Amino acid sequence: MRRPELVLVLIGYGHVGRRVVTLLDQVADRLDFTYRIGGIATRHHGSALAPGGVDAARATALVGEGLSLDRLETAPRERDGAALIRQALETFAPEAADGRLVIVETTLLDVIAGEPATTHVRLALEGRAHVVTANKGPVAFAHHALERLAESVDRVFLFEGAVMDGIPLFNLVRETMPAVRVESFRGVVNTTCNYVIGAMEAGGERAEAVAEMQARGIAEADPALDLDGWDAAAKAAALANVLLDGRLTPRQVERQGITALTGREVREHLQQGRRVKLVAGGARDPRGGARAWVRVEALPAGDPLAGLQGVENAIYLTTDLLGEVGIVQRTGTLTQTAYAIVGDLARISQRLREL
């Protein structure tokens, strides 16, 4: 069967967006689709739009050097992410009509309103493009509305990279657990916090560990989002909305961060056989909907979350038919996040091939 060609318009071209492009190139011969990068939008590094395809290698080099994509001399293009989406929907109208246009949203997480990412997703779906994102904002703020919109236009809204990078958590439940009801979840979902707490256990400095996570492109652009528990709260809201049919935003998640935690406290717990973790949890509310929380907990050694080291994450789901199901992520790098997007693109391709 012929491989469908997807046209990708990348809204955001930072750590994740650029790694998606290099990963696609790296695994091109293993994919059941081909692709063309139709456009790229950034906030401070210009934008590009080319019906025949943007030179992604040059785009990566330019942004990597802090230069503007405007140097690519592509078609006249809009500067703002939302405006570029509108323009791409016109430029690639035939591809949108036959389900081959995908907006890949990787702008910054905004935990106050989930914007502009939620608007980007909505505009794209309204124009009948599929959407793939690693941004937690849209699913944490507007999951049900966006799912309904996607269904109404026969397109998909996929967000596997929003939680636990490339580990197929949402897809696992959606694709392989028919009729199973998830009752609650509990996990360690913020890599930066887990790494920082581990470094403090070993006598290291919080600031140094944060700087290391920033250098590896793992911490949020504003690391306070990690340390204050906002990133974990956004993930808890996303998990509650998708798995527990919740209607939460990150602000409705009971939230604690690790900013007040001291190295001494962490090491005292360790000496007494406990490990401190930032734990995100959620449960169905008997009155309907769901509630979620992010708490600093000192876990006994026997707790499955207590053994997590460094950049490891894990989520345990309590289900009615399968009991407890645990998923552990041992490696958490940009490659895993980029893989989540590549995996979601493969699902869109699969859908096209089944038509």
Ligand X SMILES: NC(=O)c1ccc[n+]([C@@H]2O[C@H](COP(=O)([O-])OP(=O)(O)OC[C@H]3O[C@@H](n4cnc5c(N)ncnc54)[C@H](OP(=O)(O)O)[C@@H]3O)[C@@H](O)[C@H]2O)c1
Position among 116, 187, 198, 282 found at the interface with ligand X (CB under 6 A) = 116
Pick from 102, 95, 135: nearest CA to 118: 135
134 binds ligand X (CB under 6 A): yes
Pick from 111, 88, 72: nearest CA to 236: 111
Position among 85, 121, 213, 218 found at the interface with ligand X (CB under 6 A) = 218
Instruction: With contacts defined by CB under 6 A, name the span among 134-142, 167-175, 270-278, 318-326 that binds ligand X.
Output: 134-142
Cα 86 to the center of its chain, rounded Å: 23
* Other CB atoms within 10 A of residue 42 CB: 22
Closer Cβ to ligand X, 216 or 351, answer by number: 216
Restricting to residues 172-201, which ones interact with ligand X according to CB under 6 A?
A: none
Alpha helices in 127-203 (DSSP H): 136-152, 169-176, 191-201
Distance CA 252, CA 242 (A): 15
Position among 74, 135, 190, 194 found at the interface with ligand X (CB under 6 A) = 135
4 binds ligand X (CB under 6 A): no
Backbone angles phi, psi at 209, to 5 degrees: -65, -40
Closer Cβ to ligand X, 161 or 281, answer by number: 161
| Per-residue DSSP letter, 134 | -
CB 74 within 8 A of CB 54: yes
229 binds ligand X (CB under 6 A): no
3-state secondary structure of 335: helix
165 binds ligand X (CB under 6 A): yes
Closer Cβ to ligand X, 6 or 21, answer by number: 21
Q: Which amino acid is at 74?
A: T
Closer Cβ to ligand X, 12 or 282, answer by number: 12
Position among 8, 24, 109, 345 found at the interface with ligand X (CB under 6 A) = 109
CB 158 within 8 A of CB 105: no
Write down the least CB distance from residue 217 to ligand X, Å. 5
Residue nearest to ligand X (CB): 14
Distance CA 38, CA 74 (A): 10
249 binds ligand X (CB under 6 A): no
Write down the least CB distance from residue 63 to ligand X, Å. 7
Q: Which amino acid is at 94?
A: P
Position among 108, 113, 224, 298 found at the interface with ligand X (CB under 6 A) = 108
Chain residues binding ligand X by CB under 6 A are 11-17, 41-45, 81, 106-109, 116, 134-136, 161, 165, 217-218, 220-221, 334, 337
